[in-house]
Amino acid sequence: MYIIIKTIISALIIVAVSEIAKKYTLAAAIILSIPLTSLLALAWLFYDTKDIQKVVDLSLNTILMTLPSIVFFIVLPIMLKFKFNFSVSILVSILSTSLVYLIFIKIVKNFNLVF
């Protein structure tokens, strides 16, 4: 039952943001820029484990892994502005971001930057 409640709360936030975006893209962007997914994940992690160190570790690793995720938000609008199909643009953005994640993770491991 608990996992169903977590899923419903998380889904409601996603639906709310997508509905707001239909009329107010800036407001939706502000809401999206707040790390709601991270906030929910951290809250659920703490509630489930009561382990502060796990919350700290997840927070620090999230900061680190935010850098390669920016690629998605660069590639997608560029492709859409060049009139690529939406589905193709999403796919290429995901693939590009995945590639950057792989490269970034190798760099992080080489420099022992994992928290």
Q: Six-digit token pair at 56? A: 């700290």
- Range in 28-37, 70-79, 86-95, 103-112 the model is least confident about: 28-37
Domain definitions of the chain by residue range:
51-115
Rounded to an integer, what distance in angstroms lies between the CA atom of residue 84 and that of residue 81? Answer: 7
Name the strand (E) or helix (H) holding 115: none
In this predicted structure, what is the pLDDT of residue 91? 97
Q: pLDDT by residue (tens digit) across 5-39?
A: 888 988 888 898 899 999 988 888 887 777 777 88
- Mean pLDDT of the residues in the chain: 89
Task: Out of 5-9, 43-47, 80-84, 107-111, give the one with best mean pLDDT.
Answer: 80-84
